[in-house]
């Protein structure tokens, strides 16, 4: 299995709602990532999990709350979002590597989030 699976593909939520995005991989990757991508822009890193522990938070507002229940799953809990949070949310995973090679990330297809 060489895929990263994200659900749902589309989500519309109100500003007072609580929702969660889910991401799953079975490649044995021990690093997982959340990226946010606005239209016509590159993906921007939000969070990195390494061995199920949060290792990087790129100063993301607390209305976004990540969770890594095990090495295959990554969630992003959403609460009290704003319309400007509407974007494509991408999950990715990678082997953990040191120097000498990156290997790149495997991305999911993303969740298209619209906040109304």
Binding site for another protein (CB under 8 A): 4, 31, 33, 40-45, 48, 50, 55-56, 90, 92, 94, 96-97, 99-110, 112
Q: How far is the CB of 69 from another protein (least distance, A)?
A: 20
Q: How far is the CB of 92 from another protein (least distance, A)?
A: 7
| Dist CA 36 CA 47 (whole Å) | 10
| Dist CA 112 CA 57 (whole Å) | 21
CB nearer to another protein: pick between 16 and 100? 100
Report whether 2 contacts 104 (CB < 8 A). no
SS3 13: strand
**How long is the chain?**
116
Q: How far is the CB of 16 from another protein (least distance, A)?
A: 28
Helix %, strand %, coil % of the chain (to 5)? 5, 55, 40
* Torsion angle defined by CA atoms of residues 11, 69, 6 and 60, in that order, rounded to the nearest 10 degrees: 60
CB nearer to another protein: pick between 80 and 88? 88
Q: How far is the CB of 85 from another protein (least distance, A)?
A: 19
CB nearer to another protein: pick between 6 and 115? 6
CB nearer to another protein: pick between 79 and 112? 112
């Amino acid at each position: 299995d060489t895929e990263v699976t994200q659900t749902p593909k589309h989500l519309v939520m109100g500003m007072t709602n609580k929702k969660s995005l889910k991401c799953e991989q079975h490649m044995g990757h021990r690093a997982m990532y959340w990226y946010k991508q606005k239209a016509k822009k590159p993906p921007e890193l939000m969070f990195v999990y390494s061995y199920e522990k949060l290792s990087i938070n790129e100063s993301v507002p607390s209305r976004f709350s990540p969770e890594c229940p095990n090495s295959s799953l990554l969630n992003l809990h959403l609460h009290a979002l704003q319309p400007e949070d509407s974007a494509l949310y991408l999950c990715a995973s990678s082997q953990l590597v040191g120097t000498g090679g990156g290997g790149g990330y495997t991305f999911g297809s993303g969740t298209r989030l619209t906040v109304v």
